Structures are given as C-alpha cells and as structure tokens.
Amino acid sequence: MAEFTMELNDEQKEVRDWLHGFAADVIRPAAAEWDEREETPWPVIQEAAKVGIYSLDFYAQQYFDPTGLGIPMAMEELFWGDAGIALSIVGTGLAAVGVLANGTEEQIGTWIPQMYGDANDVKVAAFCSSEPDAGSDVASMRTRAVYDEAKDEWVLNGTKTWATNGGIANVHVVVAVVDAELGSKGHASFIIPPNTPGLSQGQKFKKHGIRASHTAEVVLENVRVPGHCLLGGKEKLDQRLARARERAKAGNGERVKNAAMATFEASRPAVGAMAVGTARAAYEVALDYAKTREQFGRPIIDNQGVAFQLADMRTSIDAARLLVWRASWMAINGKPFTAAEGSMSKLFASETAKKVTAQAVQILGGNGYTREYPVERMHRDSAIYTIFEGTSEIQRLVIARTLSGMSIR
C-alpha cells in the first residue's frame, strides 16, 4: 500500500508538466472555437491520440498508479485547459470505468481497446445510465433487458439521456433493468458493440456549458446483443440477483451496489479533479488580471475586497484538491469510504468551481461577462460539476446516510 503524500514523485511531475504543456499549447487555443461550434473537437482528440494522451495505455497507467493520484492529476491539468474539450478527450473513460468496475478480464481486454481506436482512426465510447425520468432516482429506470435463452441474447429497449458521446460512440455501455421487482438492485450493464441494429441517436442537447462535448439521447429499439455482452457474465448476475431476492424476503436492509453506482463511486473523485482544474484556471486568470488592471491609480489587487476574494479562492481550491487526492488514494488502496469521502470530494470541489468561477467573473467586472475573456466560458462550464454523476444534493444525501446509518430521504 502506497503511503498518502501531498508531494508528487518525479515521474508524476513529468507527466503533469507534459499534460500541462498539451493543455496550454493545444487545448486552450482551440477552446473558444469549439465552444462556439458546439461540436466534438475531433482534431484535438486526434492530436491527443498522436501524443499518447487519448489511449488505453495512458489511461491504464494513470488508473493503476499505486498512489491513486494519476487520474486526478491528469484530470486537473486537462480541464485547466478547457472543460468542454477535456471532457471530449476523457469522456470515453467513464465507459471504460464501467467495464473495469463490472466486467471480466476477457471483456476488459476485448472492449476497452475498441473504445479508443488508434491515432489514425480515433473512436469514442459512451456510458448510458440516466433516463428522462431516472436521473438521480436510478430506481425509476425503465430501460429493460430481457434474456432470450434460446438464442443466448439480451434484448434491450428504452431511452437513455445525457449520454456523453451518445450516438456517436463506437461502443456504448448501457445500464438496464433485468429484474424490476428488485429496484436498483435489479440493474445490469451491457456492452452494445459497434453498428448494432436498433441503437440510434436521439436529441442532441444544446448546452449552457461544456459545449465542445457531445451530449445526446440514445434510443434502444429491440437491440439484440450476444450473452457475452453482459458485463460480469450471467452466472455472476444470477448469483447477485438471488442474494438480493433473499435479502428482500428476509427484510434485510443491507445495501447491494448496482452497476451504475459502482461506476459512479469510482469516478466521483475524478469529477472533483475536473472541477479543481476549472476553478484553478479561473483563479489564475483573475489573479493576473487583478495585478495588471488599474483603477484609481493602482492595481485592483491593492483593494482588500479583491485581494480577500483571491485568498478565499485559492484556499478553497487547495482544500478541494486535498479532498480529491485523499479519496483517490483511499480508492486505489482499498480503503472503504466510511464517511462517503468520494462524495465529499466531488461535492466540495464542484461547489468550489461554481463559486470560484463566479468570483473570477466579478473580479474582471464587465470584461468577465464577455466572451473575450475565458472566465465567462469557465463560469458556464462549472455549472455541470454540481449536476452530472450525482447532483450536489445527492452527494449530501449519500454523505448524510453514510454518517448516520439512516435511510434519509
């Protein structure tokens, strides 16, 4: 087990500086254009693939970093560049985590490479969990998967929404209901291979922020996939469902993790790191502006009203990063989240990003409200962190339930 440390080692520093350079030289110059276009920045993703950032090898190296800091470090630097483009680069990772969290070794080896493609033929993947009537309330999920035993196939029907890369992905990972009586315990995850009949893109959303990231509905109409596309396999699913039914009969309130929650628990600290990157970027712009912008014959940072805001901004950013790093270290080292530390990290970092970017706009004044300065875009982008992969309200609910042991509603 790696000891917890706040100091990156030499190798991590080298990777951090490399990512920072890519974010500064490639992502930032393209940020405003792709935000305005509201399209997937394929040329930037391809550049990331060429240098090895958008690849299974890079993601695996960071994911399995024994300190747990590889992924949050990478997320912070890329999202410091731009949240929309960065999400287009790392969005495939959520689907990959879904396979890593629930799949067999064979499934991991088969499907994750197909999610990324290669530098000459870049692909993306999508993780599809939310539905029009089932966002935070995963127990209300309506997408169904029915097993056709004669053909050893699963038949999926339903509509997913808010899917990053939904409809344009090479591989979709879809969470569906296999036993409606068990609520969220009756869910399973499925791989939908490329060009599978019945899967189509529905509405593409025009968003407030992260506009360079493709977000859309995914419609499933009698989508048939082979039995081996059930993540974890049918034997494991049958065992899990049997245990859940036994607990239900006995009135046992012990919780059983469902497929979507396993993915979200693994990814929440990473989302916190994204928020830290955006907050840090806005803070740095505001700090530089405050040092050079003069009013009444002196830089505005000479005024306590501005200086104290910057002090609070930096303090909150550093505190958020520490919470993210702690949760990431705990996760990789098998430490249980006894106080919902993963949710804590996402909650605090997300709220910090919204507050810090708003303060940055305020410090820049009228300039901050225009698209001539990047804090306007950063402020729009920051809103998503308190919404996706569990709203701030859901994070508070998870934390409160964990601390109290009560089924708080």
Here the contacts of 133-141 (C-beta below 8 Å, separation 24 or greater) are: 135/162, 136/390, 136/391, 136/393, 136/394, 138/184, 138/187, 138/258, 138/260, 138/261, 139/183, 139/184, 141/175, 141/176, 141/177, 141/184, 141/187
* Distances in whole angstroms, Cα of residue 167 to Cα of each of 119, 246, 287, 370: 21, 38, 40, 33
Q: What is the pLDDT of residue 252?
A: 55
Q: What is the pLDDT of residue 253?
A: 47
* Distances in whole angstroms, Cα of residue 128 to Cα of each of 171, 173, 190, 362: 11, 6, 10, 37
What is the number of alpha carbons within 13 Å of residue 192 lying toward its C-beta? 33
**Which residue(s) pair with 173 in the sheet?**
127, 191
Alpha carbon distance 329, 308 (integer Å) = 32
Of the candidates 355, 220, 267, the one whose C-alpha atom is nearest the C-alpha of residue 87 is 267
Q: What is the pLDDT of residue 358?
A: 98
Q: Of the residues 47, 76, 217, 389, which is catalytic?
A: 389
Alpha carbon distance 345, 143 (integer Å) = 30
Of the candidates 201, 203, 202, 197, the one whose C-alpha atom is nearest the C-alpha of residue 222 is 197
Please check whether residue 30 is in contact with residue 94, taking contact to mean a CB–CB distance below 8 angstroms: no
- Strand-strand pairing, 171-177 and 125-128: parallel
Alpha carbon distance 260, 327 (integer Å) = 19
Q: How many CB atoms lie within 10 A of CB 60?
A: 15
**Which residue(s) pair with 189 in the sheet?**
175
Q: What are phi and psi of 311, to 5 degrees?
A: -60, -45
Please check whether residue 96 is in contact with residue 115, taking contact to mean a CB–CB distance below 8 angstroms: yes
> Is 389 part of the annotated catalytic residue set?
yes
Say how many residues make up the chain.
Answer: 409
Give the residues of the chain that fall short of pLDDT 70: 135-139, 251-266
Please check whether residue 144 is in contact with residue 88, taking contact to mean a CB–CB distance below 8 angstroms: no
Alpha carbon distance 88, 42 (integer Å) = 9
